[in-house]
Structure 1
Amino acid sequence: MNRLTITRRGLVVCVLGLIGLLSYEISGLVPTANAVPAFARKYGIACNVCHVPGFPKLNDFGNQFRDQGYQFGADVDLPTHESITMGYWPVSLRTTVGYQAANVRTDGSGVTTGGFGFTGLDILSFGTLHRDISFGLVFTPGLGSAGFGTGASDSDLESAYVRINRLERFLGVKGEPGTYLLNLKVGKFELDVPFSEKRSPTLNTPFVMYHYIPGTPYTATISGTSTSTYANPNSFSIGENSPGVELAGITKTAATGGFFRYSLAGLSTNTFSGPLGGCPTGTSCGTGGSNVNFYGHMTQSFGGYGIVTGHRIGVFGAYGNAPTMVNATCPTCQAVAGSGQPFSRVGFDVSTTFDGEWNLFGAVMHGNDSKNLFVSQGIVNAQDASWNGAFVELDWYPTLLPLFEMPGWLFSYRYDVIRNEHQGDPTFSKHYNNVDSQTVLARYYIHQSSRTDIALHVEYNTYRSKGVGTAGGDLLGQTLLGGLDFAF
């Protein structure tokens, strides 16, 4: 254990202790009020109606509200309802300011950064355009000084979609309240992954298996620290927002006291651009394609939705073709790449709750990329890249402890793991790029109202990527973030 590791761990303990002291004093000064800015302004409801105990994680009711297209199924959902004032605008902004320290090292050398700054900026708008017509927009502007000095943020429209809800009514199908059997979404959107990364309380620690690409060393916060890699033209990851069309539904199941949910999505490949947004030097991976990839997810819950009450099980999977060649007549055009080769992802997820305060959940996924993807890159004796990914997370939102009340707290621990079975390039070790990542965080919600939300946030992550150093050493990384996460 080096001196830096000890210092970081000591700092984590000190900051967590400081948060505890501050929150104990603040809890007596700040009134208890909870709200999500945009929807709270529209409906005049408390934030904790949809979140537990505050943004961004949704509770059971909040998840159902989302699954219904951000509506209750009443006249008040209409943007022209008399209760909605002219001053209301369905737009929210979110960022985090504070201090971040990070370090990564391999093969006897490393990089260390630290400083004050902000994570970036999300401009969000969700709501209804008309009865049973929902929409979602998320814009992240390009900001050169974002990322606490570890990298600028790219400008992108992360989400842009319209969803038509309850199409079953046109087929004469009637269901119980809370039944939304056929809902059609078109545009760019987050896939129905086992547990939404956009709603995770972690701010800068990804779900590793959502973004893992065989051949590309896994790094977090500080990238570009390893040059040991082999070419893989497949850039698909279930954690990235994708353009496409989705048919989804949710219905109550009386026999289980829970809900059945499904999502079936067809995704276009005209945004493929190789691993992590670019092809490795000297390779010729595809820049797009006209194929359609497929993703699906089905869940069944028991005794509730499975986040605050009850339990939930699910299965999910993806299948598609990644383009491997660029059309020589137009190498920079989109949707012209060819020679698509197959890949697949399949897994299951579970979630259980206890006492309305504990939520234990996780997922396991098996991934396979065809050997033809690597043959296209000139890899000799190429073979299928086969790997397994998993994560497990425990969230605790205490409402009462023996010594004092803690209604505004959220504590989380997550363990992510990647284990490779075969590498696409047989000259690489079977264990190359095996990943172990651990994350712990504490959030205290200082203030929540119908206009603003602010939380004190401390997050620590440590990870190891095996054998990805230029000399074959492991890549070790640590990140500590402490700051104020706020939305309005």
Structure 2
Amino acid sequence: MGNEKDSPIWQNPSYWPITFRITPEWHRESSSNQVVDTVPGNPALGQTYQDVTTHGFDFSGLDIWAAGTLYKDISFSVLPSADSSGSFHFENVFVRFDNLFRTRWLNLKLGKFELDNLVSEKRMLFLSSNGGFYQVYHYTPFREVQFRASNPPIVQFNPVFGIGDNQLGVELSGHSENSYARYSVALLSSNEGSPGLPNRTYDGWASFNQGFAVGKLGVQRVGAFAFFGQRPTFFNTSFGSPVLSEGLGNKSLYRAGLTGLFYIKKVDFSTVFVHGWDNVFLGTGTAANAPLPVGARGPTWNGGFVETHFTYSPQLVFVQRNEIVRMSRQVFRTDPRDLGDIDAFSFGLRYYPFMFSRAGLALHTEYSLVRSYKSASPLPTSTSPFGPDLRSSSVFIGLDFAF
């Protein structure tokens, strides 16, 4: 606001900058090609594939979000979040200083926060197990998942990076007077937002987006982002046991992409393209002081999605998303070209009976389907290290409310 009225002492005493959000729901989850015993309880008689389906009433995790101003040009956000079992963690916690040196181009944020990206996973309108995140933001090549599963210390460190995950670090950002132009650069701990000090390396993030007016269609936006990081490939040991805070043999990874927000009257489109690369040592789960598997290469992939929103009225929104991920270079030349590829599709609607500044309620319905190519576990009798395609689907009906 640019004046002393930012200070909490000037706000109405009844103002309490906190909200609670949770979703009671019914949902159905189904997964194809699950390996089960041919005769339950007797694995000696062999295994077969079977679709597994569960459904019933449930509830989501709980968000308790507090945000506001501490003083002129100083704001905060704290978001303790629990899963449905009641296990808490901090989804975000940061302090932000605005208008440093009296310019809107210099704003500093310190803590755990969402990366500044034009298409935010935290503000998406999907909630189901299969549709409630962007596949391309969290993709890990199939071979890399296999190799990591056989290397417990690396699994505990969790070398995976998710564009949609909140990160720990410091961010410098700024914007033009009308916010048409925005930028962000951030220095991050290489720990996927985990508390403590599980490592001693840093990652970098940069993003930029530009808005432009197109006649009666209003402001359209395009942007770009890049992430560069390192992850350890082995650890120092004490009496043979890994010392997980002392990662060694760091190897690189990066993600880069383009984004866009386009509006045509009541319809808008969120578009994302992502290119990813992991160093060959990360892609094979190999320690940097050990020989690589013969013929191994650093995996690369491309992916993206188009998400459509049709706002019939302020109270009724139809949503839909098509998403694909395609491997462009497998770890081994002999691997199938489509190993680990993903097709994902979601659609649904949100109806808001009411939405006020203090409380809101939405009826949320959704169907999501994800196909992962050759990603099911192979049968013990199979001569191939790969199984058939894995299809997972969700049907979701819930009452999403906040107060």
Query: 1:379, 1:425 within 8 Å by CA — same for their partners in 2?
Result: no
Q: Specify which of 161, 172, 183 is matched with residue 247 of structure 1.
A: 172
Amino acid aligned to 2:127: L
Equivalent residues in 2 for 1:298-337, closer than 5 Å: 298-303=208-213, 309-329=218-238, 335-337=245-247
Q: Specify which of 64, 86, 89 is matched with residue 156 of structure 1.
A: 89
Alpha-carbon shift at residue 186 of structure 1 (Å): 0.7
Query: 2:162, 2:192 within 8 Å by CA — same for their partners in 1?
Result: no
Query: 2:60, 2:84 within 8 Å by CA — same for their partners in 1?
Result: no
Considering fraction of residues, name the structure with more strand: 2
What residue is the counterpart of 2:187 in the other structure? 266
Residues 216, 202 of structure 1: alpha-carbon distance in 2 compared, 3 angstrom cutoff: farther
Residues 230, 76 of structure 1: alpha-carbon distance in 2 compared, 3 angstrom cutoff: same
Query: 1:136, 1:159 within 8 Å by CA — same for their partners in 2?
Result: yes
Amino acid aligned to 2:60: T
Distance 2:193 2:319 in 1: 34
Equivalent residues in 2 for 1:358-437, closer than 5 Å: 358-373=267-282, 374=284, 376=286, 379-399=293-313, 407-426=314-333, 428-437=335-344
Alpha-carbon shift at residue 398 of structure 1 (Å): 1.9
Query: 1:215, 1:231 within 8 Å by CA — same for their partners in 2?
Result: no
SS for the counterpart of 2:119 is coil
Residues 272, 426 of structure 1: alpha-carbon distance in 2 compared, 3 angstrom cutoff: farther
Q: Specify which of 332, 335, 341 is matched with residue 251 of structure 2.
A: 341
What residue is the counterpart of 1:135 in the other structure? 76
Q: Specify which of 207, 211, 218 is matched with residue 134 of structure 2.
A: 207
Equivalent residues in 2 for 1:35-114, closer than 5 Å: 72-81=1-10, 84-106=11-33, 108-114=49-55
Amino acid aligned to 1:269: S
Alpha-carbon shift at residue 238 of structure 1 (Å): 1.1
Alpha-carbon shift at residue 375 of structure 1 (Å): 6.0
Equivalent residues in 2 for 1:166-185, closer than 5 Å: 166-169=99-102, 173=103, 180-185=104-109
SS for the counterpart of 2:376 is coil
Alpha-carbon shift at residue 269 of structure 1 (Å): 1.5
- What RMSD, in angstroms, separates the aligned Cα atoms of the two structures? 2.4
Distance 1:101 1:216 in 2: 29
What residue is the counterpart of 1:487 in the other structure? 402
Residues 293, 354 of structure 1: alpha-carbon distance in 2 compared, 3 angstrom cutoff: same
1:189 aligns with 2:113: yes
Give identity over the alignment, percent.
32
Amino acid aligned to 1:396: F
Output one character per residue of 1:325-371: Cα deviation in whole Å (capped at 9) or x when no partner: 1121395655421211011111111111112x221120101000011
Distance 1:379 1:112 in 2: 38
Residues 96, 368 of structure 1: alpha-carbon distance in 2 compared, 3 angstrom cutoff: same
SS for the counterpart of 1:327 is strand
Distance 1:365 1:388 in 2: 6
SS for the counterpart of 2:180 is strand
Distance 2:391 2:136 in 1: 18
Distance 1:86 1:334 in 2: 48
Distance 1:326 1:161 in 2: 31
Alpha-carbon shift at residue 250 of structure 1 (Å): 1.0
SS for the counterpart of 1:458 is strand
Amino acid aligned to 2:228: Y
Equivalent residues in 2 for 1:218-297, closer than 5 Å: 229-231=146-148, 233=154, 234-252=159-177, 259-270=180-191, 288-297=198-207
Structure 1 residue runs of 4 or more that deviate by more than 4 Å after TM superposition: 270-273, 330-334
Distance 1:120 1:79 in 2: 30
Distance 2:329 2:391 in 1: 22
Distance 1:376 1:115 in 2: 42
Amino acid aligned to 1:164: F
Distance 2:304 2:61 in 1: 28
Amino acid aligned to 1:123: I
Alpha-carbon shift at residue 288 of structure 1 (Å): 3.8
Distance 2:285 2:316 in 1: 51
Distance 1:336 1:127 in 2: 37
Output one character per residue of 1:298-346: Cα deviation in whole Å (capped at 9) or x when no partner: 0000128x9x831111111111111111121395655421211011111
Distance 1:309 1:463 in 2: 34
Output one character per residue of 1:121-153: Cα deviation in whole Å (capped at 9) or x when no partner: 111111111111111111112542xxxxxxxx6
What residue is the counterpart of 2:58 in the other structure? 117
Distance 1:196 1:241 in 2: 11
Distance 1:294 1:323 in 2: 16
Amino acid aligned to 1:474: D
Residues 120, 242 of structure 1: alpha-carbon distance in 2 compared, 3 angstrom cutoff: same
Query: 2:272, 2:305 within 8 Å by CA — same for their partners in 1?
Result: yes
TM-score by length of 1: 0.69
Amino acid aligned to 1:383: R
Distance 1:202 1:395 in 2: 11
Residues 434, 428 of structure 1: alpha-carbon distance in 2 compared, 3 angstrom cutoff: same
Output one character per residue of 1:201-248: Cα deviation in whole Å (capped at 9) or x when no partner: 11132111111112379xxxxxxxxxx833285311211111011101
Amino acid aligned to 1:481: F
Residues 155, 380 of structure 1: alpha-carbon distance in 2 compared, 3 angstrom cutoff: farther
SS for the counterpart of 1:328 is strand
User: Which runs of no fewer than 5 residues in structure 2 stay unpaired?
Assistant: 35-48, 379-386
Residues 397, 271 of structure 1: alpha-carbon distance in 2 compared, 3 angstrom cutoff: closer
Alpha-carbon shift at residue 272 of structure 1 (Å): 8.3
Residues 216, 114 of structure 1: alpha-carbon distance in 2 compared, 3 angstrom cutoff: farther
What residue is the counterpart of 1:36 in the other structure? none
Alpha-carbon shift at residue 74 of structure 1 (Å): 4.7
SS for the counterpart of 1:351 is strand
Distance 1:312 1:115 in 2: 41
Residues 143, 352 of structure 1: alpha-carbon distance in 2 compared, 3 angstrom cutoff: closer
What residue is the counterpart of 2:40 in the other structure? none
